[in-house]
Amino acid sequence: MISPLTRAAASLFLILALALWSSCSLLEPRGPLTRSHDSFENPITTSPPTPELTQAFTLATRARLDSVKKENGMTVRGYVTENRKFYEAVLRPLIDLHLEDLSKQHPVQVVNTLTLFCHEAYQTYFGANFYRWGGDIFDLDDPQEEGVRHGYAYGLDCSGFVSMPYEIAVLLGLLDPARDDAVFSSKGFARFVMTHSIPDLGGRDSTSNRCRLDTYDFLRLGREIFSIDSAGVPSQEEVSRLQAGDVVGTPGHVGIIVEIEGNPYYLESGGWVVRRSGGNPYRAFEALVLFARGGPVTVRRALPDYRTQATM
């Protein structure tokens, strides 16, 4: 449990960091500190759950036991996720209604729309904290014998959440897995692995897990936009360079940048930032400051630079 003194010190740190940042820049952070999904418009929104769907998809749904034989001959056993069922029953029908419009949009807009929509849907059905160790949208990860909520069917871990919009965009033909744009998806990563002759070690006991991206994969893919030292503060110029789809990472944890009404916000599954806002998007500057308190932070990008082509 966090003591009142610790909370006060954390608040003072944020105030001082914000003051320092503002004094070195001409612009104040834009937009409210946090945003709930009902406070802004997104092209795709979650429909009210039907009683049948509410009963079928709950945080308490237990996972099934399964086993997988790995390439080294060993068999791993444990509980597997069923997030793809949620995708097919809840996410896909609503995305399909907007597929033509999405196909005409810039990849950054596509990833932004999908990230915000999927986050809203997971919150609606599973609550603010839908973290599940080894959880990804298409159930690529190995069966799990331990870890947070490893025995439950639905939920995403941090890397599973970050890769989700990329996975969906590739599946629907909105991103081409043969291009670097899609390297944050399993199919795009598979091409990278083959092209660069590097191993996929994200499975249990450092075996392959069908190129399902792990946290350390995100830290070596794409291109670095900027980095922040441990306990550091980003500059206004750095924050202004953020765009939707950027991955914010430190060893062991990743999150993703979204844009709401033209302003950068941060989202994650698990971690220590969005829990302060009930799981809702957190303004990027403050999120990066909080993130950097846990160690050095890197922002990496796979998508094309967007602001050189348009204003979001």
Note the pTM of the prediction, 2 decimals. Answer: 0.90
Yes or no: say if 227 and 233 are a contact pair by the CB < 8 Å rule: no
Residue 16 maps to a domain: no
Kindly give the parts of the chain with pLDDT less than 50. 1-2, 4, 6, 17, 19-27, 309-312
For the record, the structure tokens of 51 come out as 């009683």
Within a domain: 82: yes
Give the model confidence (pLDDT) of 259-312 as tens digits: 999 999 999 999 999 999 999 999 999 999 999 999 999 999 999 999 754 443
Two structure tokens written together for 305? 């630079």
Q: Is residue 312 part of a domain?
A: no
Asked if residue 279 lies in contact with residue 37, where contact means CB atoms within 8 angstroms, the answer is no
* CA 102/CA 259 separation, integer angstroms: 16
Answer yes or no: is 269 within a domain: yes
The answer to whether position 17 is within a domain reads: no
Q: What pLDDT was estimated at residue 14? A: 52
What separation in angstroms does the CA of 172 have from each of 80, 92, 258? Answer: 24, 10, 20
Give the distance from CA 100 to its chain's centroid: 24
Residue 12 pLDDT = 53
Kindly state whether residue 22 falls inside one of the protein's structural domains.
Answer: no
What pLDDT is stored for residue 71 in this prediction?
86
Q: Is 245 inside a domain boundary?
A: yes
**Number of folded domains in the chain?**
1
Half-sphere exposure of 305 (CA within 13 A, CB side): 8
Any domain includes 262? yes
What is the domain range of residue 203?
A: 29-301
Q: DSSP string spanning 34-48?
A: B--GGGS--SS-PPP
CB 236 within 8 A of CB 27: yes
**H-state helical runs in 127-255:** 158-171, 186-196, 215-218, 236-240
